[in-house]
Amino acid sequence: MVVIALVIVLTQKPASSSNTGEFVTPPANAAVAAGMADGETLGKAGAPVSVEIWSDFQCPICGNLVKDYLPRLMAEFVIPGQVKLVPHDIAILGATAENESLIAAVGAGCAGAQGKYWQYHDWLFYNQDGENKGAFSADRLRQIADKAGLDRARWDACFADPAQAAAIRSTTSQAASQGISSAPSFRFGGQVLAGLPRAYADLASALRKVLPSAAPTGASAAPSAAAGSPVASPAASQ
C-alpha cells in the first residue's frame, strides 16, 4: 500500500461569507453522494493509494485546495477507485482566546462521529472569512452543525468534551514531529511537499507516478512553487 500524505479539499469560488451574515452553501461533494465516505475517509476501501491530509480550516490556501483542486481529484482519482483521502485536521492559525482553528476542527470531528464529517468539512471551507475574525466562532459552528443536518444534542455534547480539543492538539503536535511544516502539506513515499502546487496538473502528475498501474506521463512539468501556512509550535495551538 502506497501512502501519500496530502492536504485537501472542493470547486467554484462563491462569494465571501460574513462572520455575521449569510452562509455560503457548498456544492455537492460527488464522492459523498456516491456513498464513498467511511467516517473521515473518503474513497473506496481497496484504493491502492491512500492520501493523508493535513489542513487547518482557517488556512486560505487549504481553502483553495478544497475549492479548486478537490473536485478534480474526486473525478480523476477518488471516484474511479485509485485514491482514498484520509484527512488530519490541525490547528496552527488559532492562537487567540477563542481558538477558531481548534474549535472548527473539534466541530468537524464531532460531525464525523455522526457520519457527516465531509458535509461539515465542506461547510467550513466554503465559509472562511479571514483568520480569527469570528467566522468560526462557537455560535457559527453550531449553526453549521444545523446546516449539515446533525443531531444538535449529540453534537453539542461532543463539542463541549475537552477530550475532543485534546485530540486536535495531539494531531497538531504529531504533524510537526513528522516534518509537516505547513498547511496544506503532501507526503508521498517519504517525501514531503509543503504547500499547494500552483497547478492542479502538478499534483495530478505526482499522484499518477505512485499508482501501481502508472503509465508514462510525458514530459515532466517544470517544478512549481508551493504556498501554505507554516505549522506553529504546539504551544501556539492552544
227: CATH: 3.40.30.10
Mean pLDDT of 155-168: 97
Residue-averaged pLDDT of the chain: 83
C-alpha triplet 145, 238, 194: angle, nearest 5°: 85
Structural domains counted in the chain: 1
Give the range with max mean pLDDT: 104-118, 185-199, 217-231. 104-118
Would you state the pLDDT for residue 189? 60
Asked if residue 142 has pLDDT above 50, the reply is yes
Q: What is the pLDDT of residues 6-32, one digit of tens each?
A: 444 333 334 444 455 789 999 999 999
Would you state the pLDDT for residue 50? 85
Strands 49-55 and 83-89: parallel
CB 132 within 8 A of CB 94: yes
Q: 96 vs 117, which has greater pLDDT? A: 117
User: What are the start-end ranges of the H helices in 3-67?
Assistant: 30-33, 60-64
Q: Could you list the residue range(s) of the whole structural domain that residue 91 is in?
A: 2-236
Q: 218 vs 84, which has greater pLDDT? A: 84
Would you state the pLDDT for residue 19? 54
Mean pLDDT of 85-90: 92
Instruction: State the cell numbers at 207.
Output: 499522484
Would you state the pLDDT for residue 86? 87
Strand-pair partners of 3: 50
